[in-house]
Amino acid sequence: MSTLRSKDAWQALERHYESMRKRRLRDLFARDADRAKHFSAEAAGWRLDYSKHRVSHATMQHLFALARECKLEARRDAMFAGDKVNNTEHRAALHIALRAPAGSVIECDGENVVPGVHATLDRMAVFADAVRNGDLIGFSGKRIRNIVNIGIGGSDLGPVMAYEALRHYSDRTLRMRFVSNVDHTDFAEAVRDLEPEETLFIVASKTFTTLETMTNAHTARDWLLAAAGSKQAVKKHFVALSTNREAVRKFGIPAMHTFGFEDWVGGRYSMDSAIGLSTMIAIGPRAFGEMLDGFHAMDEHFRNAPLEENLPAIMGLLSVWYTDFFGAETVAVLPYEQYLKRFPAYLQQLTMESNGKRVTRGGKAVDVATGPVFWGEPGTNGQHSFYQLIHQGTRLIPCDFIAFGQSLNPSGRHHDLLLANVIAQAEALAFGKTLKEVRDEGVPASLAPHKVFEGNRPSSLLTAQRLTPATLGALVALYEHSVFVQAAIWDINPFDQWGVELGKVLAKKVAEEIESPRKRLAHDASTNHAIRWYRKARAQTVSDGLGTPTVLVLDIGGTHVKIRISDRDEMRRFKSGPNLTPQDMMDKLLPLIEDWRYDAVTLGVPAPVIQGRLRTDPINLGKGWKDFDFRRAFNCPVRVVNDAAMQALGSYQGGRMLFLGLGTGLGSALIIDGVLQPTELSHMPWREHTYEHYVSDKFYNENKDAWAENVLELIRVMRNAFMPDYVMLGGGNVRHLKDLPDGVLRGENGNAFDGGFRIWELPR
């Protein structure tokens, strides 16, 4: 038996539960006319009515006794004192210091942390005011109007929830957006209608290493630089909120745009730290200060009020009561306030990342249920979807109803009806409707069971006068501390989150395997199957010309194979020669590019290619090229293209272009309005031989002057035949031509790679 189960108060509760299990709320109310008064408490602008819970005075006494036996007050005091209550990470959990008034003293490792907190708040205020006043200017000299917060988990849910909750108080001339998901759709939709020159990115990440956030931050930087041109723009358009100052500096964000906090602020407890910069920009430093005051008021209440009047203690203990004695698995959070639409999502991280634990602080398995599942939606919408199950389903789902006396957008009967609904829902859940009541209404016997409401379904009603920055702060602190109370009873650490690690590590491995399609898979059959399925889907995306693939280009020549990849400048090469078979090439290539990831391959081959297929083996290489299965060898989409055509594509400047490649032989290609037309001029008869003969490298070595004459003659003839807007000369021997006629341009050899990359942008 665990220490918790063996506690006197726990055992007393177990016995007491047997007497409460069947007690009806109807009876409890009938016996006590003042039950609503007796089972309610107030603090920091909030009133908690918990009279519709399945508790008696005795229940509450047992629960308070349990809290005392679990040393809740001592644990709370240790947290407030800056002790390392996050024992698995050896850290304090001092979020209460984030809202402590200037002048207070809260020590961590012997140092008063409050002055540092206020110094950051002051810097944030100066910055927020600069944005709000229009003093913050982007790269083009225009004022910043769009704020995009990039973060995830606590670096997103708190800011987005607070922005939505306090929208009424926000500066409507600013556009606030929040990007969290690594799904690119999130970023794409967030910036779709924004101008880079007016956009500020706030990269919010405690660690500044989180995969999703850093991927989105790099995408944001590319998006900005595509418009700004210069890397200097990053300094103006990016702000970082982080504890990892070194990583922020490496990203290119200057110290003056970095707002830090300390490791004693947990991600899900950070919305009132520097992570709240977007909130402060939206509502202004003064209102942000009011929100902090609300937090602080609830902190003080939690710290000083006796458990019997202590809102977080009561809420936390009720959660333990239902989770461990009634076997309830979830809690529904139902704000009757549209501005709180993201509150349930925010609470999910706060509650479940904190208390989703299966071992005690000392590492022993717990043998009672811990952290319930939190979920919810704003009322009244939920009433028309899942409330059916809460009213008549087989599960017990305690509900937290949240409502405000005054609407921020009063109009007609709206608020009356909203409040009527929340009050009525709590009443219906508690008291239900008996079979007799249904029958008395004249409902036929066959239908009556369907219309019975069992009732006895518990709920809290949390009310405040108005949704303000202060009431929001107090509400969040209420839940933070309620989570702490539950953790104290279960003896778990609510401040770590090891449970997210394994998935992160495996995702990194799987991403590597997806992006290196030749890697062998050694997972279970199902995981292997899923990876293979996605590799195929991904290859299809590339083949369909969607997205921007990373392309590996091979420029295969008679003496060397040169290789590049589209996201790096580096070129690698290895020797080819007259005996090089495609298999030899693969054997030399793959070890050389082991560290490169690519989605697609372009092969520029010195041989005729029609519709992506080699018509013959290259004359200057070994055998077996024509029928070799490159798609299979690379395990990703491959496009084979004539080497001259590839260079032509890389040199193309629009319109009708004739490309002539002067190398060992003669390469040629025609591009008309972006569409590549393969041509094979080299072996057409000319004079006593072929065109290639008279402009070849061999001919050049025999008679240089005649070679130059021949090239000019070739250009004249081909111009007459194809009527291009211009002729582009490529190949190594172009350098031997001094003066070029008008309309004839000199291309560069490196253009071949650009052609290999561009070919994936063309329709197939």
Which span (21-29, 205-213, 355-363, 450-458) binds ligand F6P, by CB under 6 A? 205-213
If one asks whether residue 152 binds ligand F6P (CB under 6 A), the answer comes out as yes
Q: Which of 199, 205, 278, 355 binds ligand F6P (CB under 6 A)?
A: 205
Q: Cβ closer to ligand F6P: 263 or 309?
A: 263
- 371 contacts ligand F6P (rule: CB under 6 A): no
* 3-state helix, strand and coil shares in percent for the chain, rounded to the nearest 5: 50, 15, 35
Burial class (CB in 10 A: 0-12, 13-18, 19+), 235: middle
Give 344-360 as a DSSP string. Answer: HHHHHIIIIIHH--SB-
Name the residue nearer to ligand F6P (CB basis): 496 or 697: 496
260 binds ligand F6P (CB under 6 A): no
Rg (C-alpha) for the chain, rounded Å, is 35
Residue number with CB closer to ligand F6P (217 or 233) = 217
Kindly write out the interface string for residues 486-505 of this chain, putting x where it contacts ligand F6P by CB under 6 A and - elsewhere: -----------x--x-----
Closer to ligand F6P at the Cβ: 153 or 376? 153
Give the whole-angstrom CA distance, residue 333 versus residue 382: 10
Q: What span, in angstroms and rounded, lies between the C-alpha atoms of 482 and 11?
A: 23
What is the smallest separation between the CB atom of 358 and ligand F6P, expressed in angstroms? 17
Decide whether 152 or 282 has the Cβ nearer to ligand F6P.
152
Catalytic residue among 71, 384, 698, 704: 384
Interface residue with ligand F6P, options 196, 260, 267, 665 (CB under 6 A): 267
- Alpha-carbon distance of 327 to 346, in angstroms, equals 24
Interactions with ligand F6P, residue window 211-250 (CB under 6 A):
213
Scanning 61-69, 164-172, 206-214, 752-760 for contacts with ligand F6P by CB under 6 A, the matching segment is 206-214
Binding piece for ligand F6P, criterion CB under 6 A, among 200-208, 221-229, 232-240, 737-745? 200-208
Residue written as tokens 């984030």?
A: 98
User: Per CB under 6 A, which region of 202-210, 250-258, 339-347, 691-699 contacts ligand F6P?
Assistant: 202-210
d(CA 472, CA 166): 8
Q: Measured between alpha carbons, how far is 108 from 130 in angstroms, rounded to an integer?
A: 32
Tell me the C-alpha to C-alpha distance, in Å, between residue 383 and each of 177, 372, 379, 380, 474.
Answer: 29, 22, 7, 5, 27
Asked if 153 is part of the footprint of ligand F6P (rule: CB under 6 A), the reply reads yes
Residue 609 in 3-state DSSP? strand
Residue closer to ligand F6P (CB basis): 163 or 628: 163
Among the listed ranges 207-215, 306-314, 366-374, 603-611, the one in contact with ligand F6P (CB under 6 A) is 207-215
The per-residue DSSP string of 24-38 comes to -HHHHHHH-TTHHHH
Q: Which is nearer to ligand F6P, 41 or 92 (CB)?
A: 92
C-beta of residue 493 within 8 angstroms of C-beta of residue 282: no
Instruction: Indicate the helix (H) or strand (E) that contains 660.
Output: strand 656-662
Find the binder of ligand F6P among 154, 276, 667, 747 (CB under 6 A). 154
CB of residue 266 vs ligand F6P: minimum separation in angstroms? 7
Number of residues counted as binding ligand F6P (CB under 6 A): 14
Q: At what angle do helices 751-758 and 643-651 cross, to 10 degrees?
A: 90
Look up 384 and say whether it is catalytic: yes
Q: Which of 197, 212, 337, 353 is catalytic?
A: 353
> Max Cα separation, the chain?
118
Q: Which of residues 36-95 bind ligand F6P (CB under 6 A)?
A: none
Shortest Å distance, C-beta 213 to ligand F6P: 5
For residue 109, CA distances in Å to 101, 102, 219, 264 come to 20, 19, 39, 11
- Nearer residue to ligand F6P within complex by CB, 213 or 471: 213
138-to-42, 220, 237, 276, 323 alpha-carbon distances in Å: 47, 15, 6, 22, 52
Tokens of 472: 């929001």
| Binding residue (CB under 6 A) for ligand F6P from 51, 59, 86, 210 | 210
Q: Please tell me what DSSP assigns to residue 143.
A: B
Choice between 205 and 493, CB closer to ligand F6P: 205
- Cα 631 to Cα 645: distance, rounded to the nearest angstrom: 20
285 contacts ligand F6P (rule: CB under 6 A): no
| C-alpha to C-alpha distance for 258 and 20, rounded to whole angstroms | 55
Of positions 155, 471, 493, 679, contacts ligand F6P by CB under 6 A? 155
Establish if 206 lies at the interface with ligand F6P (CB under 6 A): yes
Task: Note whether 638 and 600 are within 8 A (CB).
Answer: yes
Q: Does 679 bind ligand F6P (CB under 6 A)?
A: no
Q: Which residue number places its CB atom closest to ligand F6P? A: 267
* 504 given a catalytic annotation: yes
H helices of 723-759, where? 751-758
Distance in angstroms (rounded) separating the CA atoms of residues 64 and 491:
16
Quick one: which segment of 171-179, 203-211, 599-607, 608-616 binds ligand F6P (CB under 6 A)? 203-211
Q: Is 755 in the site for ligand F6P (CB under 6 A)?
A: no
484 vs 494: CA distance, rounded Å: 7
411 burial type by CB count under 10 A (0-12 exposed, 13-18 middle, 19+ buried):
exposed
In angstroms, give the least distance from the CB of 133 to ligand F6P: 29
In the set 504, 508, 560, 704, the catalytic residue is 504
Site for ligand F6P, rule CB under 6 A = 152-155, 205-207, 210, 213, 267-268, 353, 497, 500
Active site residues: 353, 384, 504
